[in-house]
Amino acid sequence: MLKSDATPENGSKIQKAWGRLSGSSDRPPRILAVANQKGGVGKTTTAINLGTALAAVGSRVLILDLDPQANATTGLGIVPGPHDPIAYDLIIGDATLAEVVVETEVPDLHVAPTSMHLSGAEIELVRAPRREYRLADALREQAGGYDYVLVDCPPALGLLTLNALVAADGVLVPLQCEYYALEGISHLVRTVKRVKSSFNKNLDIQGIVLTMHDKRNRLCGMVAEDARKCFGSKVYETIIPRNVRVSEAPSHGKPVLLYDLRCAGAMAYARLAREVILRESEIIGMSIHQ
């Protein structure tokens, strides 16, 4: 497994800069599926950078890359070798989580990487016993060491995303501030309801994250307003701006918080992490150490 130039000092710097927000505990991990069947809305960017920001404030975080495009894997500077176990092996039961996870250059941020091989998983899964529960079973048994598991879903509502939704406590929905954004989301909301009634009664939309917002664009403002009208407080206060540093970071194999800690995109993901932790604390009554 190749990793980019790991410098744990970088991550420690962020940890110090923001102080400890969250308290690690022996609770089971909160599993959040980062999902939206629409492509290119900021799922992977949110998984990577929210995960980094949560780790930076003291949480132990696993990003599980469930998308055969492997963008979360490469965006964190990981290139699995042809024989390295990947998330697919975990789902199929050929590898344990410990065998699959890789450290990143951010302390306490691990990734269960993937590669194009995962594209075969959906076909194999169709015939597997408990096919909807494969990820849920694996994480329930093996993810105890983490505070958060963020599952980066592919842009489809197939069996891989279904596995994420069945395993999850909540769904984080990145919503790109553009025309038609809300139409796509109603389909996702219906899917979440169906999964809740058939497979996972605890599932709920945890929150909606407005992404790639351009304040000079009136349409962006209108989409943000409509989203708040439709979904009220489910929409996080933090809006992720469109920011060139955010889009550059993956080509360097780094979260934007390591690539340019002070840029508007990095600061927004840091604020989002605080909101996510606060919302979690409301949901599960966790104590917050500021």
Ligand X SMILES: Nc1ncnc2c1ncn2[C@@H]1O[C@H](COP(=O)(O)OP(=O)(O)OP(=O)(O)O)[C@@H](O)[C@H]1O
Question: Is position 46 an interface residue for Mg ion (rule: CB under 5 A)?
Answer: no
Q: Which does 40 bind (CB under 5 to 8 A by kind): ligand X, Mg ion, none?
A: ligand X
Q: Please list the residues that pair with 174 across neighbouring strands.
A: 209
CA gap 238, 236 in Å, rounded: 5
Cβ proximity of 191 and 157 under 8 Å: yes
Q: Judged by CB, which is closer to ligand X: 72, or 106?
A: 72
Q: Judged by CB, which is closer to ligand X: 58, or 154?
A: 154
- DSSP code per residue over 42-53: SHHHHHHHHHHH
Question: Is position 59 an interface residue for Mg ion (rule: CB under 5 A)?
Answer: no
Q: Judged by CB, which is closer to ligand X: 100, or 239?
A: 239
* Residue 228 dihedral angles phi and psi, to the nearest 5°: -70, -35
Interacting residue ranges for ligand X, rule: CB under 6 A: 39-45, 67, 69, 71, 155, 211-212, 240, 242-243, 246-247, 250, 265
- Helix locations, 102-217, DSSP H: 121-127, 134-142, 159-167, 181-198
Site string for Mg ion, 26-45 (x = CB under 5 A): -----------------xx-
Q: Judged by CB, which is closer to ligand X: 47, or 139?
A: 47
Question: Is position 71 an interface residue for Mg ion (rule: CB under 5 A)?
Answer: yes
CA gap 260, 272 in Å, rounded: 17
Tokens of 173: 């929905």
Sites of contact with Mg ion (CB under 5 A): 43-44, 71
